Amino acid sequence: MRASSGLSSPLSKQRHISFLSLFKRDTVKGLLADRDESLNPEFSNCNYSRYTIVSSLLSKDDDVRHGMLIHHYLILKELETSQFLGSHLLHMYFRCESPEDGFAFYRSMSDMNVYSWNHLMEAYIDQREIQRTVELFDRMQSAAVLPNKFTFVIILRALYEKPVGVNVSRIHVYIRNSGLGDDNVINTALLRIHGEGCRMSDATKLFNSLTAKDVIFWTAMISLYAKEGQLDEAFHLFDKMQHQYLIPTTVTFVSLLSVCAKHTALNEGSRLHTLIVAEFPNLDIALNNALVNMYGRCDCLDDACSVFDNIVEKNVVTWTSMITLYDQKGYGRAGILLFHRMQAESIMPNQFSFVGAIVACACLEVLDEGKHVHTQVAESGGVDAVAGAALLNMYEKCSKLEDAEKIFNAVATQDQVLWNAMISVYTRCGKLREAIKLLECMREQGLRPDKVTFSNIFNACGAFSQKLNGEYLHTYMMESDLEPELILGNSLVRMYAHCGDIEHSRQVFDGLIERDVVSWTLMIAVYATSGQSETMFYYFDQMQQEGQLPDKVTYISVLDSFRTTCLQTHWKRLRARLESSDIFHRELAVQNALITLFGKWGNLHDAERIFTKMAEHDVVTWNALIALYGDHGEVRSVFKTFRAMLDEDVNPNTVTFITIVSACASQAHFIEAKIMHMWAVEGGFHTDNTLATALLTTYGKCGSIEDARSCFDLLKGEQNLLAWNAIIAVHAQHGQAKEAIEIFQQMEQARLIPDSLSFLALLVACSHAGLPHEARRLFTMMVHDYDILPSADHCGCLIDLFGRTGRLDEAETLLHSVPSQSQKLPFATMLGACKSENNEGRGERVAKYALESNSHNPVYYVILTNIQSALLKHGNDFSDTIGTSPCLSAVES
């Protein structure tokens, strides 16, 4: 055997290692006592015992330097290496992670046994060169070397890793001809290949053809069913295995728990838990982790926590699973506390633990805690693409876009996931231009945008009604030769629908080769939102005719359409389908939507009937019933329902408090609002912007400006525009124009851009305080400085103020400058001002203008009749201006 020319070079660089130190003194005392072969004839014979000693030395150490010394010793002594030693040398190089030297040695080998071929094929699999592995398998047969059991296991592993067009049936025939057709290890590998290729019929045929099956083979078949999501088949096989008196292994139970988690099969999962406890008094960590995951995915957080708390020795996977579970359920604070507990118990976080903690920080929008975790990630080995994507999301949630951009630029290896995460950040911030620019940079870097990339941008175009950008990206996607996929088609349907382009949305939908329940639901929602109930029901019927069953989102979309229109024929059809489908009895969300719908219709009886018949109530159910009572002014029922909710141990959320506080506002229940405020403080909800706004609005309506201001100040610089508008409105309602204007100025200093509601509250304040000059200034600022188009409410408020302060010229000028679509209310206000001033000439002009605009509005005729009555006292009559009208006749009669 020839030595590789590259082997002498590495040895010269190694530190000095005594060759004698590699040998056990007792074993080779005689072998190396004398380096001169003439003094030791046994050494020169190079017999079997010598090969055995050298091969033993090659197998003992994982230091490639020692193996190289042995190899060079053989070369130095000019000992021809046999197939036996050659296979050991080859194995040594690959085992010691020195593939270059191993491949170099392989090229020098003149003769190879089955073990050498096996080692070489395994090495190529590790190098992800599957095609070369298959080629070696064929060359091995050409060299008349018979494969053994491990050869078949290796080639099957290669085909499992990456199918390369090899006929698996041919390999199977080869296996049977070699006499290994009943070997469970080989057949288990064959099962895996059938499962990976979605050939479950072949897998089942193979499984049934064998008589002697061990527990590993049974478990492999159960795992295949679990992977395919065939829950019933997996459990049927599990029961059959037990009837064969085979004891399930940990892997068996973990596979079944995984499929229970995937399909949220709580009953089956609980049954497995009972069997596991009976079979394994001391559960190992893999089973405990699988149980935590199963209960978590089945929405049984208490059971997951119970399993977690009973685990004596938790590993990093256990802690990470629980942190992730808390994240998924929205309990970010609990996730962060668990992350700290984990480290306090000397468990070092891994990559996924850090990601879980970062996600929790993003959920709570706690920037300081997020930065602390960021520091830990950096100190533990640097920010990789996975952690980087999570950090991008966290900084964006905390309104730190610049920090997110720094993270993106700092990550050394920017993979597809990281690019998509940064594009998603830009789209959520409404920065479509930056997202599109990043998309182009991504292509320049050699990364091909995928369905996630385009879906994120399409969704943003829809959310921000950026139809032109959406159309441009649609064309861009088609030019990039990206294969059309269902997720992209659905994103396009959604984008065009949100942009109000129903026709394009329908065209994309019609062009989809494949449609799922999401596709159909999107189209149903499009026509439901636009009020086209007939078309909506056409698609609702069509989806079922094509074999696609509606899900809860579909039914909720249809039910939402009935909030504005109620066609009895459609309602009867829908109700009949709901009653015939088990989805109504199974899905809480559908039941909740029905309660809300009946509440909108004022049908309290049916809403209460559904609530009573429901098997369980979640917080959304209770909120829907509370909102129903609140909308009908039944505050006593609101609080009665709230107490019943607490009695059922259902914790209120922010929506609960907002709903109850809003009900208190409508009836000015100050004491009740105070009580709810206290509840909110105890629950930690009082700093929520929306709840604080609802509270301050309620206090304002109850006349407690101090409490309203206290709620506003509690937000401590985190006030959004809604909160600022609410506190301005509170002062406006109480005629405190000066305070309202001061708060508005503070809002401007905080760099918040006011909207139309901000100025309406200010104009109301000026109107109540009788400040026409200040009102005129604010109105001009609204139009010229902020480009806000005045509405009927703005103009009506200002015209009313001008009318009451005798500025009818300014009022009439303003009236003629109002956009035509907003003129209805200002006419009535202006006519009222003319009446109060007994200004018949101006009243006549306004009357003509009003009647030309809308001759069917009875309000104008009522006011004109009052003006006419007042003017008749002064001997004036302009009934000719009014003319005869059915509306006026009706008013007069």
The answer to whether the beta carbons of residues 115 and 91 sit under 8 Å apart is: yes
**What pLDDT is recorded for position 750?**
85
- Give 98 or 587, the one with higher predicted confidence: 587
**What pLDDT is recorded for position 190?**
66
* Whether pLDDT at 156 is above 90: no
Can you tell me the distance from the alpha carbon of 659 to that of 630, in angstroms, rounded to the nearest whole number?
7
**What pLDDT is recorded for position 199?**
60
**Burial readout 806-843 (b: 16 or more C-beta within 10 A, e: otherwise):** ebbebbbebbeebeeebbbbbbbbbbbbbbeeebbebb
Can you list the pairs that 124-129 forms with residues at least 24 positions away whose Cβ atoms lie under 8 Å? 125/154, 125/157, 125/158, 125/161, 126/94, 126/99, 127/99, 128/161, 128/162
Can you list the pairs that 10-16 forms with residues at least 24 positions away whose Cβ atoms lie under 8 Å? 10/65, 10/68, 10/101, 11/65, 11/68, 11/69, 11/72, 14/65, 14/68
pLDDT bracket for residue 308 (50, 70, 90): very high
Please provide the average confidence, as pLDDT, over all residues in the chain: 77
* Whether pLDDT at 590 is above 90: no
pLDDT bracket for residue 184 (50, 70, 90): low
The answer to whether the beta carbons of residues 209 and 176 sit under 8 Å apart is: no
For residue range 9-34, what is the model confidence (pLDDT) as tens digits? 333 333 333 444 444 433 333 333 33
**What pLDDT is recorded for position 36?**
38
Can you tell me the distance from the alpha carbon of 253 to that of 808, in angstroms, rounded to the nearest whole number?
85
Highest mean pLDDT among 160-164, 340-344, 787-791, 824-828: 340-344
**What pLDDT is recorded for position 47?**
46
pLDDT bracket for residue 207 (50, 70, 90): low
**What pLDDT is recorded for position 210?**
66
Give domain status of residue 746, yes or no: yes
> What are the C-alpha distances in Å from 739 to residues 200, 391, 733, 771, 793?
75, 42, 11, 13, 22
**What pLDDT is recorded for position 2?**
38
* Whether pLDDT at 389 is above 50: yes
Q: Give how many domains the chain has, as a whole number.
A: 1
**Helices 114-126 and 149-161, interaxial angle, to 10°?**
20
For residue range 267-292, what is the model confidence (pLDDT) as tens digits? 889 999 988 888 887 788 889 999 99
Lowest mean pLDDT among 416-425, 482-491, 523-532, 544-553: 482-491
Can you tell me the distance from the alpha carbon of 69 to that of 3, in angstroms, rounded to the nearest whole number?
12
**What pLDDT is recorded for position 574?**
81
End-to-end Cα spacing for the chain: 122
For residue range 65-103, what is the model confidence (pLDDT) as tens digits? 777 777 776 666 555 566 666 777 777 777 777 777 767
Question: 281: buried, middle or exposed (CB in 10 Å: 19+, 13-18, 0-12)?
Answer: exposed
Give domain status of residue 324, yes or no: no
Question: 142: buried, middle or exposed (CB in 10 Å: 19+, 13-18, 0-12)?
Answer: exposed
Give domain status of residue 613, yes or no: yes
* Whether pLDDT at 817 is above 70: no
In this structure, the chain runs to a length of 893
- Give 584 or 371, the one with higher predicted confidence: 371
* Whether pLDDT at 3 is above 60: no
**What pLDDT is recorded for position 356?**
92
Both tokens of 127, joined, read 């190098």
Give domain status of residue 370, yes or no: no
The answer to whether the beta carbons of residues 473 and 461 sit under 8 Å apart is: yes
**What pLDDT is recorded for position 760?**
93
Domain that holds residue 694: 586-824
The answer to whether the beta carbons of residues 491 and 485 sit under 8 Å apart is: no
The CATH number assigned to the domain holding 817 equals 1.25.40.10
**What pLDDT is recorded for position 376?**
92
**What pLDDT is recorded for position 39?**
33
**DSSP one-letter code for 492:** H
Give domain status of residue 454, yes or no: no
Can you tell me the distance from the alpha carbon of 814 to that of 835, in angstroms, rounded to the nearest whole number?
18
For residue range 687-732, what is the model confidence (pLDDT) as tens digits? 788 888 889 989 988 888 989 998 888 887 778 888 999 999 999 9
Can you tell me the distance from the alpha carbon of 887 to that of 893, in angstroms, rounded to the nearest whole number?
10
**What pLDDT is recorded for position 885?**
36
For residue range 43-66, what is the model confidence (pLDDT) as tens digits? 344 444 555 556 565 666 666 777
Both tokens of 793, joined, read 């409410």
Tell me, rounded to whole angstroms, the distance of Cα 40 from its chain centroid: 75
Average pLDDT over residues 657-662: 90
Host H or E run for residue 833: helix 824-837
Give domain status of residue 495, yes or no: no
**What pLDDT is recorded for position 622?**
93
For residue range 410-463, what is the model confidence (pLDDT) as tens digits? 887 778 888 988 998 988 888 888 888 888 888 888 888 888 888 888 888 888
* Whether pLDDT at 337 is above 90: yes
Can you tell me the distance from the alpha carbon of 730 to that of 715, in angstroms, rounded to the nearest whole number?
17
121: nearest Cα among 86, 94, 160, 84: 94
* Whether pLDDT at 217 is above 60: yes
Give domain status of residue 851, yes or no: no
Q: Return the beta strands (E) in 451-517 as ranges.
A: none
**What pLDDT is recorded for position 687?**
76
Give domain status of residue 752, yes or no: yes
**DSSP one-letter code for 818:** S
Lowest mean pLDDT among 270-279, 369-378, 481-490, 692-701: 481-490
* Whether pLDDT at 777 is above 90: yes
